[in-house]
Amino acid sequence: MADQKQSIHGVWASRWVFILAATGSAVGLGNIWKFPYMAGVYGGGAFVAVYLLCIALVGAPIMLAETVLGRRGRQSPINSLRSLAYTAKASPRWAWAAVMGMIAALLILSFYSVVAGWALDYIIGMGQGSFTGISGEGAATRFATLTDDPWRLAGWHSLFMLVTAIIIARGVVAGLEKALRIMMPMLFVLLVALFGYSLSTGHFMEGVRFLFHFDLAEVPAGILAAMGHAFFTLSVGVGSIMVFGAYMPRESSIAGTVMTVALLDTLVALTAGLALFPVVFAAGLEPSAGPGLMFVTLPIAFGNIAMGQVFGLLFFMLVAVAAWSSAISMLEPAVAYGVERSGRSRVAVTAAIAILCWLVGMGTVLSFNVLAEARFMVADESGWRLFAWTDAGGKTFFESIDYLTSRILLPLGGLAFCLFAGWVLSRDALREELSLQHPQLFPVLLCLLRYVAPAGVAIVFVTELFK
Ligand code: PFF
């Protein structure tokens, strides 16, 4: 029977480990680096409001769909979808959604590793006290010196990728579970310490106002950005949550578990925002600095306030730990699939995929220096063009991959997973996997999966097209 399947890769010790793993995957650079800078760029409260709505109505239902599909299928996302489609007498082509997701996850990992590498560099910098008393110009120069140096970037990128690969190669229980049991409590303690610190800056309420002040007029600008980010931050649409669902023990209730993960992720993003903006305001800086917010603005702030060095060091350690627990989840779907398909050892498969990903990541490394002028996606009057040597508009390699994954591939993947769980999987299978404590909720969840979440993705896409 399909529902009696066991994963060949291993099973988590309990549903708590799934929560650790899924939260570890969800909480990452997206919460600490991307969320605050995007909120800054897109005007604060308006972006936050749309983001929260997208999490509740689209992101969380898709996370639910992925977990159900993973646990039902008990294999890598591609093979899970293929076998579930077979059981439901649906087209095996559904598996292509998981192929796309797997590629998206590897593309994300390729740039994620580079940005996480910056954090590693900053841990050393903070430890050496090189930010103490730093000026705005000094911090900008330090960041530029780092990003201008392809060798230094490549070194950190390689180290980050190597550690990620080692954890994955050790396997689900000995690698993933063990690493998560150490990393997640650390993350929690670091975040609480930073939050306490920001409360003491005297600018806490300014941060609150910035994040929650809502102006309707500012909503349209950031709609697709907010929705793309809801996918990115919950790690949905790529199969990461699905593969973790495949390792979930049978007895655990999915709906409650998924709610916990989505809430924790949102809580961490808001806490990170509330920990970060007061520090920015305390130093009299602007919140709209863009991707450099965490690496330029924050170090100035940390360099010029009491105890800044200690908390700065803690902060970048937090970023690194959170990034690693996410990075492993991007690699797992491809590694699980590679092992199932080739029958080779986990170590060999992990090495091959990590090297490939590392190579693509070198594109991002170079997009900050040698290839800084090259544009890989350019939109002009004649539509979209790829590859152009021009600095007029357009996106660098890094920006193109970020855009392609967050704004296009993740929502499309999520849409497919959600439609599959809502329409292709039989109602009985869905009901059985959800094992709801309150069965009255079933129609509500079904409605979210069938109509609300897919409509949400569709509306945002169409709105963007006709803007
Ligand atoms: N959710 C992660 C973050 O917020 O940093 C990013 C991420 C992890 C995206 C895993 C996709 C993924 F598969």
List all residues 6 or more positions away from 440 whose beta carbon is below 8 Å from its beta carbon: none
Q: Sorting pLDDT into bands at 50, 70 and 90, what band is 388?
A: low
pLDDT value, residue 40: 81
Residue 265 has a pLDDT of 94
- Protein residue with its CA nearest to atom 9 in ligand 1: 235
Q: How many domains does the chain have?
A: 1
Query: What pLDDT, on a 0 to 100 scale, did the predictor assign at position 385?
Result: 57
Question: Are 354 and 331 contacting, i.e. CB atoms less than 8 angstroms apart?
Answer: yes
- Reported as a single tens digit per residue, the pLDDT across 225-282 is 888 899 999 999 999 999 999 988 887 788 888 999 999 999 999 988 888 888 788 8
296-314 pLDDT per residue, tens: 877 887 887 778 888 888 8
What is the model's pLDDT at position 465? 64
Q: Which atom of ligand 1 is nearest to the CA of 105?
A: 13
pLDDT value at 209 more than 90: no
- 144-199 residue pLDDT tens: 999 999 999 999 999 999 999 999 998 877 778 888 888 788 888 888 888 888 88
pLDDT of residue 83: 95
Q: Which residue in 362, 341, 339, 359 sits closest to 349, CA to CA?
A: 339
Least confident of 25-29, 48-52, 197-201: 197-201
Tell whether ligand 1 has an atom less than 6 A from the beta carbon of residue 449.
no
384 — pLDDT class (breaks 50, 70, 90): low
Q: Which residue has the higher pLDDT, 104 or 381?
A: 104
In a domain, 10, yes or no: no
Look up residue 257 and give its two tokens.
Answer: 């578990």
User: Are 71 and 245 contacting, i.e. CB atoms less than 8 angstroms apart?
Assistant: yes
Ligand 1 centroid to residue 27 C-alpha, Å: 7
Averaged confidence pLDDT in the chain: 87
Q: In this structure, how many other beta carbons lie within 10 angstroms of the beta carbon of residue 212?
A: 14
Ligand 1 centre from 198 Cα, in Å?
25
Judged against a pLDDT cut of 50, whether residue 2 lies above it is answered with: no
| SS3 state of residue 7 | coil
Closest by CA to 160, choosing from 334, 369, 319, 390, is 319
86-125 residue pLDDT tens: 999 999 999 999 999 999 999 999 999 999 999 999 999 9
Supply the CATH number for residue 126's domain. Answer: 1.20.1740
One-character DSSP codes across 114-146: HHHHHHHHHHHHHHHTTTTT--HHHHHHHHHHH
Residue 195, domain member (yes or no): yes
Is 354 inside a domain boundary? yes
Locate the ligand 1 atom nearest the alpha carbon of residue 326 and give its number. 8
Q: How confident is the model at residue 382 (pLDDT cuts 50, 70, 90)?
A: low
Are 343 and 85 a contacting pair, CB within 8 Å?
Answer: no
Find tokens 């591609």 and name the residue.
Answer: 78
How far apart are the C-alpha atoms of 266 and 285, rounded to whole Å?
A: 25
For 387, phi then psi, to 5°, come to 55, 100
Residue 3, in any domain of the structure: no
Q: Are strands 383-389 and 374-380 parallel, antiparallel or unpaired?
A: antiparallel
Q: Please give the average per-residue pLDDT across 277-292, as a whole number.
A: 78
pLDDT at 1 over 50: no
Q: Give the whole-angstrom CA distance, residue 221 versus residue 166.
A: 41
Give the amino acid at 150. P
**Alpha-carbon distances, residue 194 vs 20, 207, 244 (angstroms):** 21, 14, 29
Contact call for residues 282 and 301 (beta carbons, < 8 A):
yes
Ligand 1 mean position to 321 CA, how many Å? 13
Helix (H, G, I), strand (E, B) or coil at 374: strand
The CA distance from 228 to 30, in Å, is 11
Inform me whether the pLDDT recorded for 4 exceeds 70. Answer: no
Contact of 421 with 430, CB cutoff 8 Å: yes
Of 443, 418, 378, 414, the closest CA to residue 235 belongs to: 414
First to last CA, the chain: 49
CB of 109 sitting under 6 A from ligand 1: no
Q: Is 305 left (phi over 0), alpha (psi -120 to 50) or beta?
A: beta
Residue 93 DSSP label = G
Ligand 1 site-directed mutation target among 33, 66, 232, 270, most atoms within 8 Å of CB: 232
| Residue 55 clears pLDDT 50, i.e. is over it | yes
Cα–Cα distance, 78 to 334 (Å, whole number): 9
Q: Nearest 10 degrees: CA dihedral of 28, 31, 34, 35?
A: 170
Q: In this predicted model, what pLDDT tens digit does every residue of 397-448 receive, in sequence order?
A: 999 999 889 888 999 999 999 999 999 999 999 998 888 888 899 999 999 9
Dihedral over alpha carbons 246, 251, 255, 259 (to 10 degrees): -80
- CA dist 113 and 156 (Å) reads 8
| Cβ of residue 235 lying under 6 Å from some atom of ligand 1 | yes
Write down the pLDDT at residue 449: 96
User: Does the residue 48 lie in any domain?
Assistant: yes
pLDDT of 389 strictly over 60 = no
Taking the centre of ligand 1 as the mean of its atom positions, its distance from the CA of residue 170, in whole angstroms, is 21
* Average pLDDT over every residue of 356-368: 96
The three-state secondary structure class of 377 is strand
Q: Tell whether the model's pLDDT for residue 321 goes beyond 80.
A: yes
**Amino acid making up residue 225:** A
Q: Is residue 7 assigned to a domain? A: no
* Residue 449: how many other CB atoms lie within 10 Å: 24
The distance between the two most distant Cα atoms of the chain, rounded to a whole number of Å, is 66
In this prediction, residues 373-389 reach a mean pLDDT of: 66
Residue 2 lies in a domain: no
Distance from residue 404's CA to the centre of ligand 1 (Å): 14
Please enumerate in sequence order all residues whose Cβ is within 8 A of that of 144, keeping only pairs 6 or more positions apart, or say none. none
**Cβ–Cβ under 8 Å, residues 420 and 115:** no
Whose Cα sits closest to atom 12 in ligand 1? Answer: 235
Is 4 inside a domain boundary?
Answer: no
Note the pLDDT tens digit of each residue in 338-351.
Answer: 999 999 999 999 99
Q: Is the CB of 31 under 6 A from ligand 1?
A: yes
Query: Is any ligand 1 atom within 6 A of the Cβ of residue 29?
Result: yes
CA distances from 336 to 37, 92, 232, 358, 410 (A): 33, 19, 21, 18, 20
Q: 445: domain range? A: 15-465
